Structure formats: C-alpha cells, structure tokens
Amino acid sequence: MRVGNKEYRTVWMKGKTVYMIEQNLLPFRFKIFQSKEHLQTAHAIKTMIIRGAGAIGAAAGYAMAQAFIEAGENGFQEYIEKARVTIESTRPTAQNLFYAVERVYHAGKTSVSAAIKEAEAIADEDACASQQIGIFGNELIKDGFRIETHCNAGWLAFVDYGTALSPVYVAHKSGKKVFVYVDETRPRSQGARLTAWELKNEEIPHVIIPDNAGAYLMSKGKIDIMITGADRIAMNGDTANKIGTFEKAIVAKEFGIPFYIAAPTSTFDLACPSGNNIIIEERSQDEVIYAEGPDEKGKIRKIKLCSPGSEAFNPAFDVTPAKYISGIITEKGIIPPDTIFIKKLFGL
C-alpha cells in the first residue's frame, strides 16, 4: 500500500533486521521500527508494535528465522527451542503466529537460508491471499453498500491488502460507491486509529462510530453488510476475533444483515474442533484504564479514563459461533462456516 509517495508492506526483512510499521504511533506519526534480533521482534508482537493476524504471522516467521541466524553451533538446538517458546507465547490466540513459526522451524532444520526463504514465502503468500480475498469479497458488495467493520483487518493487519478491508478496496477501485462505518474498537481503538487512517488514505467515505452504536444503525436499516477479520477459525466454523465481534454478529442476525468473516486459510486451526478450544488472550488492564494520544503541541501523552482505584478486565478476543456467520471469505473462495466445507477447503 502507498503512504505518501512510497509503497510499503506492513513488515519485511532485510539481512538480519526485521522492519515493521510502528502501529502504536499511528495515526499521529508514521515510523518504521527496526528489530535486529528475535527477542526484539517477539517484544514488538507482544506490545502490538505490529498487530493483526497476518502481520503477526509474518513477523513471527521472521523472528523464527532471526533465531536461526543468531544461534551458534554450541547449544544450537537449545537456542532454537527456547526462541520458539518465546515467540509463540507473545499472542496465544493468533493462529497465523503458530502457523508461521511451525513452518520456519521445520525449514530451519535444513539450513539457516531455508528458514529465511520460508519466512519470506509466508509473507508473500499472506499478501497474495489477501489480494484474492478482496477479489472474492468484492462479489458480495453492491454499488451503494454501507459496510460496517470491527477492529482493523486492513493492510496494516496483514503484509498487504488486508482481509475485511480488501473487498472494500477492490469495490472502491472498481467504481462502486461504498461507505464504511468504522467501529472504534476499544480499548486499543484499532478501528478509530488504524482502519480510519487507512480509509482516509484511500479516500473512501467513512465515519467512526462508538462500538455500541452498531445495533442502532442496523435497526435503522443503515448497514447492508458487515465484514470482519479473524484471528483463529475452528474446524466447525466458530471464529475468534477482536472482543465485541460476537455482539455484532448477534445483532446482525437479528436484523437479517449478512455477517462475513474474511481470512486466509492460514488462520484456520485444523487441530481445533470448536470455539470452546480457542485460548482467549487477556491483556493488561491498563489498556482499558488509560489512553494515549497527542496534546495540542503534538506530544504523545497518557491519560487515565476510569475511576481511580477501580480494576478492569481486558479479554482481547471473543468467539462468534458459526451459526451467526453468513460465510467465510478466503483466498480460495467463499465457503459456509461448516466442518464439511472447511474439510473440502483443505482437501480432507
């Protein structure tokens, strides 16, 4: 995607260094974060310098490749095993992370160069899959459609193109008139900060709405379709995504509004029977209690939003049961959220 006059991927590797867009600074500052070793890259994943299913996966693959580069001959296997545990512990709900680490780990058993090559392949596949998701998803969007999305599943959340926003980009470029209602997505405000920033860059009409305004808009007939991304999809079609997605799906079902998940096949967990088996990451209460943003002089400041002394509970994701999902948009086509169709998708 283009920022200013330059094309960027969300994350890439050159030599031993992993480069990524520093998403904690957006939309107020655009900066490239440089990670020179795997512990730095793992920390960037955990602290959400990089975020989003595909971007996390690509960064994790690069981190695993960095570990192979760093490991000396003495204690090589011990170093690699420890690095793998460290990387996989950063974001436990994100399936793409485990998918990428597994692939690079096994490739690295052949050689360090094979690990690097595999990490690059994962990133390239992620970008291609996202592009195809846009093509298939565009078929669902009619001229004049009003689309609601939750959290950020744009190009910042993947290596390029994105998932939930990819069909929107294709529809817009094809000449369709679309309007996007952007859920703010508290507590990290990925919608208000990242999705809105992306849509503004693409000159796509949109408005930021409070997370709890979706039901009101749907009840007034102002939403034609809802598309979100996913962090893990179980074999029965149950889907984990940013906290609040489940609520949106229930309301969409109530008002007969199509609710779609957009995700590459790398987000499916073939070892996970249902949503009951998905581990839900719980993050620091500080994300709920505090917020960051620039003051009138542009300096980033942290302010308290909540009652002093009160504690907060901060689950990062929830699981939407398959019965609330109209379909899953993948790079191989749109499928029903059903075990039979998921098995066919993978040739099982």
The kind and range of the H/E element at 115 are helix 112-138
Is-contact 131 167, C-beta < 8 A? no
Is-contact 93 28, C-beta < 8 A? no
Least Cα distance to 101 among 135, 70, 62 occurs for 62
Token readout for 159 is: 């290596």
Is-contact 151 185, C-beta < 8 A? yes
DSSP 335: E
Token readout for 73 is: 């001959």
Is-contact 138 172, C-beta < 8 A? no
Active site residue: 126, 160, 211, 231, which one? Answer: 231
What are the DSSP calls for 241-291, one per residue? EETTHHHHHHHHHHTT--EEEE--GGGB-TT--SGGGPPPPB--THHHHEE
For 140, phi then psi, to 5°, come to -85, -15
Tokens 């009951």 identify what position? 276
Is-contact 182 208, C-beta < 8 A? yes
Indicate if 231 belongs to the active site: yes
Q: Which residues pair with 239 in a beta bridge?
A: 233, 320
Is-contact 164 149, C-beta < 8 A? yes
Separation CA 261–CA 250 (nearest Å): 14
Least Cα distance to 282 among 97, 96, 93 occurs for 93
Q: In residues, how long is the chain?
A: 348
Q: How buried is 163 (Cβ within 10 angstroms: 0-12 exposed, 13-18 middle, 19+ buried)? A: buried
Q: Catalytic site residues?
A: 231
